[in-house]
Amino acid sequence: MEKLIAQIKQGKVWPFPGGIHPPGQKTISTGQAITRLPLPDKLVVPLKQHIGANGKLIVDKGQQVLKGQALTKPVANWSVPIHAPTSGVITDICQMPSAHPSALPELSIIIEPDGQDRWCTLNPVPTPSLLSHEQLIDIIHDRGIAGMGGAGFPTYIKADSRKAIEYFIVNAVECEPYITADDMLMREYASGIIAGIEIMQQLLTPTLTIVGIEDNKPEAIAAMQTAAAHNDKIIIQTVPTVYPSGGEKQLIQLLTNKEVPSGGIPADIGVLVQNVGTLFAVNQAVFEGKPLIERVITVTGNTIHNPGNVWALLGTEIKHLLDCQGFSPVPQQRVVMGGPMMGFTLPTVRIGVVKTTNCILAPDHEELAEPGPEKACIRCSACADACPASLLPQQLQWFAKSKEYDKLKEHNLFDCIECGACAYVCPSEIPLVQYYRVAKVEIKEQQAEQVKAERAKERFELRKQRLEREQEARQNRHKRKPATEKSADEKQKIADALARVKSKPAKDDDKSAVAAAIARAKAKKQNQGAGLEPDNSDVALERAARKEQARKYKEQKAAASTTDGDKAAPADDKKAAVAAAIARAKAKKAASSTTDSETATTTPADDKKAAVAAAIARAKAKKAAKAEQADSLEVDQTQSETAAPADDKKAAVAAAIARAKAKKAAKAEQADSLEVDQTQSETAAPADDKKAAVAAAIARAKAKKAAKAEQADSLEVDQTQSETAAPADDKKAAVAAAIARAKAKKAAKAEQVSSVEKDNAVDETAPTTKNQEPGTEAQPEQTAQDKKKAAVAAAIARAKAKKLQQEGSDK
């Protein structure tokens, strides 16, 4: 580093690639000192005159303002305020054409000067060395200082650099043709510029400060050397006249032999660059308290009769500058803001001066000829040789025309400083810089859209996560709490309910079993759903009490109707039908018993009859076994109905299953009866006594079938009674009906077994035909016609029995 400093102090400079030597034309405007323009009729002050965000308006239309009064205040980063260039009245705040090649409208403040040029209160600082770093930064920020030599970068951002600065470079090269504003400023205000440099040295504390000036400005070099003689850390360095040596990166390479990396800034290599006009504004802001409201502008060109440099208030219309300097326009006159290399043609002269305006050029057609039509590239490589950034202008132009933005980035389009050297040397007159500018804007727009899309995606994801969290929270609110053990009071209530159910006086064993089963089922359900189901023990007890009351009411009504039938109220039709069915069943049962006893004592038996009786006994035993099986199925169904928690649908299903099983058992019994009849017909003797025995057996079978059918009718009627008479609960009625059917079947089974035993006893003790008394005549043999009659009678009997059985099951 010391070696480099020594080389710099010796005046050594390093070349940069490329560069051109266009005609300077600077002597046109350096013949006289800087003059001050008269006040214009109006000032058009745009809110944005720098890189960064606009300030916030703090004035209103019609308000009186003073010279130097703030019109906006910074509200965001890289935002600096603007100030009133003179005293007057704000006549309007509206959209006006901007100082841009597109002249797009932007918000501007229109001020009508009052001619008094009255200043607001100023706060000068005579000894800035006593101020802190932050105080100096605030002064520079509040006075609205921005870069006056290029893009208008806010000065307070550079002055508050967080990176160590080794070399502070002052750009006084002013390499572009026609422009002499910085040259004249250094000639006349060198001491003020050196004072501004010293303020920046206080803020940045650089190792060395270098002022670079082209060797075509001898007066400015001499003035600056004289003003900086007292400060040994300031070196006035002369550089060769080459365009564009005034570019920031090119000047750094010229003075320090350091190269700014692609996509980087000078601070990355410990260097910071400021323009001489900016440093003079810093001097005025600190020592005089003046905000940036005016600047030096070069007004030149062959159509200007009095070319020179003027102090112009910010917001002064370009037309006012031209008129004050003697403007004589030619047909199709062009007015350029800036120099002929990097400037742009204004669409109107009603645009106001801004902080970055350093030159107004009004050439005639010979001085600055109109560009000819664009021709095809001849690949001469002159553009690449002239490029100071070592780019490939030809390839960049092709990629820009085909909108291949990725390839433009790969070829470092944004390293282009838009100096115009490539277009200046192009023999095909291709406006290369215009292609690059358009491509840069499109790429920036594309990047902005991508940033927007990313932000929108991020917002969408955040919103989606928020909605999911809200939905999950709603679901959690509606979820039941986890199961917990019941409290001691709830357990005691359950125990008391079970005790009350068990301690009730039972009318019979079946009712007690049903009640116990219901109680157990309820207790089990409550214990399993502890913490998940509400406690319904009180409701269950009330329901049980209502059922018990209904049952008692039913019993009392039945007892009253039995003991006092004459005084009873008119019976229900269904009840009368039940009573009639019961009476018929009793009568048939009595008749059947009488017939069986008479037949057993009067009918003579023989060996064949004994065989028939044995077959009948076996058939009856088989029927009894099947009936027992059906009864067990019925009882199992009843148990399942009483044990599980019953509801209406399950009770209906269980009843249907029970009826189906009963019908199946009846069909099986009928099939056995037919088998017995078949056995009888096959084993019947031709004798009349055999026929009589068979007829008696058939009669007994028919009577028993009729009795069973009648019994089934009575059971069905009992079921009807239980469903229609009592107001008891449906579930209890279904259970009671099932128990009643089971009891009836058990009784019928017992009676059937006793009848079978009696028949077997009679058959075994009866005398055979071989032991008949003497003198008894044998019956004549049965004829074929009699056999047919007997078969027909048996079939008729079976059909009638089947019909009676079906009618009983339907009832």
3-state secondary structure of 485: coil
**Which residues have C-beta within 8 Å of that of residue 253, sequence separation ≥ 6?**
14, 16, 259
Amino acid making up residue 380: C
DSSP code, position 771? G
Residues 227, 193: contact at Cβ < 8 Å?
A: yes
Cα–Cα distance list, 602 to 481, 597, 689 (Å): 82, 9, 11
* Cβ atoms < 10 Å from Cβ of 552: 11
Tokens at 532, concatenated: 């998940």
Backbone phi and psi for residue 133, each to the nearest 5 degrees, phi listed first: -60, -45
| b/e code 605-628 from CB counts within 10 Å (16+ = b) | bbebbbebbebbbebbeebbebbe
Cα–Cα distance list, 222 to 103, 190, 195, 219, 747 (Å): 40, 10, 17, 5, 142
Task: Tell whether residue 120 is among the known ligand binding residues.
Answer: no
For residues 378, 381, 383 and 385, what is the CA-based torsion angle, rounded to 10 degrees?
A: -160
CA distance 737 to 756: 29
CA distance 618 to 756: 9
Backbone phi and psi for residue 625, each to the nearest 5 degrees, phi listed first: -65, -45
CA distance 63 to 644: 92
What are the E-state strand segments in 723-799?
Answer: none
Task: Tell whether residue 175 is among the known ligand binding residues.
Answer: no
What are the E-state strand segments in 588-712?
Answer: none
3-state DSSP percent of the chain in helix, strand and coil, to 5: 55, 10, 35
Residues 374, 427: contact at Cβ < 8 Å?
A: no
CA distance 658 to 642: 14
Tokens at 412, concatenated: 């470092």
3-state secondary structure of 216: coil
| Cα-trace Rg, the chain | 62
Find residue 67's DSSP bridge partners: 119
Annotated binding site for [4Fe-4S] cluster: 377, 380, 383, 387, 416, 419, 422, 426
Annotated binding site: 377, 380, 383, 387, 416, 419, 422, 426
